[in-house]
Structure 1
Amino acid sequence: MRESQHNGPEPRLGLTFSENPDGTVNWHQPVSDQFVDPSGRFATGGLAVLVDSGLGAENHRRRPSGKWTVTTELRLDLIGAPREGSTGLGIRADHLGHDGHCLTTRGEVVDDDGEVIASGLVKTMEFAAGVDAEGYDDEPPWPSALEPGTLTEVLCLTLSERGDGPGGSRVVEGVIAPEPTLANPLGNLHGGVFAAAAEVVGAAVFPHERDVSSSSLDVRYVRQIPLVQPVTIRAEVLHDGRSWGISQVTTRDERGRVSAVATVTVYGRR
């Protein structure tokens, strides 16, 4: 059997998969430092590539012949961090169908005890792409190439704090370096990578005295995000209450148009 040529964010984050005789797929992601953000918290964003790839794959394999798929919407709700000592995560997928516009799959992220730690949903659209869709489907499972480090290090993400939001509110910008292994097969920033980075940056706008745990991440992908130069994402506060907060995270193209937008909801009293 030939070796896989895939060299994207999935192997970089240690994600692997195996196919069952009935056609279903088992996904596995190790639990290590790639879930830790600069504040030391468990970052929900560390689950984003698993959700995007695992649920998106269920949509992708049901697309019309000759078409490619891209994620248009991703939602991720954290229920609880993996138990201490958990070694790996998997995903249970439930394909909901195709309404003529989008394919939709929902699912659950589970730890190695089968306990649910998060729920997710991915919508995708199909289109004619400049890649050999069927040929890519024949790629064998890739080996893990887990990149050591925290989530920001694995995502090649740097954060900077600003105060030029509405009314002088806190703004955080993140810059993703153009690392080729963060791209999807079309050469654009992988949707799960944007979602992961958006969650980290969106949570970072809230004061450090708040015991922040991200409750939900909701992403809309408007247009492709080329990874030919650093990608800047910007988070601003929408609501900063006593018990919970909401931030909005955007990235724009060179013409100033929104390429992707995310809403991050965090819980935790000050």
Structure 2
Amino acid sequence: MSEPQYNGPEPRLGVTFAETSDGDITWHQPVEGQFVDPSGRFATGGLAVLVDSGLGSQNHRRRPSGMWTVTTELRIDLVAPPRAGSSGLGIRTDHLGGDERVLTTRGDVIDDDDTLVAAATVKSMEFAVGGDAGEMDDEPPWPSKLEQGTLAELLCVTLNEKSDGPGGTRAVEAVIAPEPALTNPLGNLHGGVFAAVAELAGAAVFPHERQVSSSSLEVRYIRQVPLAEPVTVRAEVIHDGRNWGIAQSTTLDERGRVCAVASVTVYGQR
């Protein structure tokens, strides 16, 4: 009997990998509707699963025996959206090393003509797991199961605008439905999915008359985010200037503790 194929957010977004003859790994993501937010804007969050998986895998391959890794920090700085007519994106990685606790890899997201699209960094923390951690590494390359739709549709997200009363804080709440295909191998919300949703909500906080292009996304993962129930990511304005703005996106657990927080920086004049 054949092993069940991985059905996480990577194949859902068309993200695939292949091992080269020299043992390295290449990654690919098509440029389709998964980079479009509900307003039609190019969404930097569409890069998050590719970055988390591609750079995180470089850290994971270098962990000590008997250990597992989870992403603790992720950063993406958009240089320019993919060019019109692009067929897909890849990643160049540069593993920087580790200190027996945290592993760090930086990399470039590149267009199919080798043009730089974004610079990224992923930090991963090592921790011990029960049983043989190596058995969880035997996942063969999965086929693309790209679904059509906008990024919010593919990530099962509903965006709701909020306001804390007259003149209050402008906010957007993004609610992620408990779709099993959005989890990581440990069964929690995939870090790249949270990052993507945090960027969607953070950019949506700004007025629609503003020409918003996301410039950077910085995420810190504090504790695991179960997906047994819908997960709410709340974004609020930190700064809304004439030429640029900053939003903060946060998700809490049932005890009110912060599980993950993201900073979304956008440029664009009103």
Question: TM-score band, normalised by the shorter chain?
Answer: over 0.9
Aligned counterpart, 1:192: 192
Counterpart code for 1:101: R
Say whether residues 1:254 and 2:254 are aligned partners: yes
Q: Is the 8 A contact 1:35 1:151 kept in 2?
A: yes
Aligned counterpart, 1:126: 126
**Whole-Å separation in 2 of the counterparts to 1:269 and 1:218:** 22
Counterpart code for 1:191: G
Q: Is the 8 A contact 1:4 1:140 kept in 2?
A: no
Per-residue CA deviation, residues 131-162 of structure 1 (Å, 9 max, x unaligned), is 64212212110001111110000000000011
Counterpart code for 2:222: V
Q: Offset of 1:17 from its aligned partner?
A: 0.6
Counterpart code for 1:150: T
Say whether residues 1:108 and 2:116 are aligned partners: no
SS state at 1:149 partner: coil
Q: Is the 8 A contact 1:131 1:186 kept in 2?
A: no
Aligned counterpart, 1:175: 175
Q: 1:131 to 1:261 in 2, by over 3 A?
A: farther
SS state at 1:88 partner: coil
SS state at 2:38 partner: coil
Q: Is the 8 A contact 1:70 1:126 kept in 2?
A: yes
Aligned counterpart, 1:138: 138
**Whole-Å separation in 2 of the counterparts to 1:252 and 1:222:** 10
Q: Is the 8 A contact 1:3 1:142 kept in 2?
A: no
Give the 5 Å matches for 1:1-270: 5-130=5-130, 132-164=132-164, 167-270=167-270
Number of equivalenced pairs: 270
**Whole-Å separation in 2 of the counterparts to 1:129 and 1:183:** 18
TM-score by length of 1: 0.97
SS state at 2:64 partner: coil
Counterpart code for 1:170: R
SS state at 2:192 partner: helix
Counterpart code for 1:164: D
Q: 1:9 to 1:166 in 2, by over 3 A?
A: farther
**Whole-Å separation in 1 of the counterparts to 2:114 and 2:192:** 23
Unaligned segments of structure 1, at least 5 residues? none
Q: Is the 8 A contact 1:29 1:50 kept in 2?
A: yes
RMSD of aligned residue pairs (Cα, Å): 1.5
Counterpart code for 1:254: E
**Whole-Å separation in 1 of the counterparts to 2:188 and 2:13:** 18
Q: Is the 8 A contact 1:93 1:105 kept in 2?
A: yes
Q: 1:165 to 1:27 in 2, by over 3 A?
A: farther
Q: 1:112 to 1:183 in 2, by over 3 A?
A: same
Q: 1:165 to 1:138 in 2, by over 3 A?
A: farther
**Superposition misfits of 4+ residues, deviation over 6 angstroms:** none
Per-residue CA deviation, residues 138-192 of structure 1 (Å, 9 max, x unaligned), is 2110001111110000000000011118951311001000000000011000000
TM-score by length of 2: 0.97
Counterpart code for 2:123: K
Unaligned segments of structure 2, at least 5 residues? none
SS state at 1:119 partner: strand
**Whole-Å separation in 2 of the counterparts to 1:238 and 1:198:** 14
**Whole-Å separation in 1 of the counterparts to 2:165 and 2:28:** 39
Counterpart code for 2:172: V
